[in-house]
Copies of this chain bind each other. A is one copy, B any other.
Amino acid sequence: MRVGIGVRGAKTGEQTKHQQRTEATRSALLDAAKRIFARDGFEAARIEDIAGATGHTRGAFYAHFNSKVDLFFALFEQETGERLRGLRSIMEQYPSSDGRLRALRKFYVGRASDRQWAMLALEFKLFAWRHPKLRARLARTHRRIREALKLETISQLIPELMKVGRQSREVRRVALEAVLNGLVLEHAYDPEAISQTQAIAVLGRMFDVLMAAKQHAANGSF
């Protein structure tokens, strides 16, 4: 579907503008969806609100997406990809594996400030759990992104993490994900019970516990 540069050149002016506008609308819809799905949850989010937030009506939405679920998947793909790309690019900036570990920690801890994403992540997971038929599709999307980004190489960039088995690495990743989402939710639920600063501190601690090299040998449970 993508029109190559050469071809596009034929009617450059209009075509491009048209395409740009189209792309801009789609992009705006995704942005609005991000905000509104995070705010209201998948079920309570209304197509009209999402379209309205971009200054369009429902029709515009259906010109770009087939259904609410379709949008949800597209959002999942975009956001997941974005975060993984961000992580990857950060990793690549550091030559030493030590620096990479520190950068990873910073990246991880920093995500505690992105409540929107944490809420979205919760929604994605709840949705997948509650819609077994669509779950495979989400999983496929996830895998595709990871493969496209050759994310395996990320952990390979930190040799210390390689000392343990593949499964254990995955478990630790998932555990961190769990802690992150859980903490953000608790903070959102009751900011007085745990402040953002406190959540961040706990998060860092968890990271250290789960990722510090020395721990791996000592504890064989995961």
Q: Which listed residue, B41, B178, B183, B205, touches A130 by the CB 8 Å rule?
A: B41
Task: Bin the interface of chain A by size.
Answer: 35 or more
Say whether A221 faces chain B, with CB atoms less than 8 Å apart.
yes
A175 and B189 within 8 A (CB): no
A175 to B199 Cα, complex, angstroms: 8
From 20 to 50 in chain A, residues with beta carbon under 8 angstroms from any chain B beta carbon are: 39-41, 43-44
From 38 to 92 in chain A, residues with beta carbon under 8 angstroms from any chain B beta carbon are: 39-41, 43-44
A219 to B205 Cα, complex, angstroms: 10
Say whether A171 faces chain B, with CB atoms less than 8 Å apart.
yes
Interface hit among A2-10, A96-104, A121-129, A154-162: A121-129
B202 and A175 within 8 A (CB): yes
Assuming the A-B contacts A174-B194, A205-B219, are A189 and B41 also in contact, with contact meaning beta carbons closer than 8 angstroms in the complex?
Answer: no
- In the bound complex, residues from chain B placing their C-beta under 8 Å from that of A44 are 43, 130
- In the bound complex, residues from chain B placing their C-beta under 8 Å from that of A202 are 171, 175, 178, 210, 222
* Top 10 A-B residue pairs of the complex, sorted by shortest distance between their CB atoms: A182-B182, A178-B182, A43-B43, A201-B221, A125-B189, A178-B183, A174-B194, A178-B186, A175-B202, A201-B222
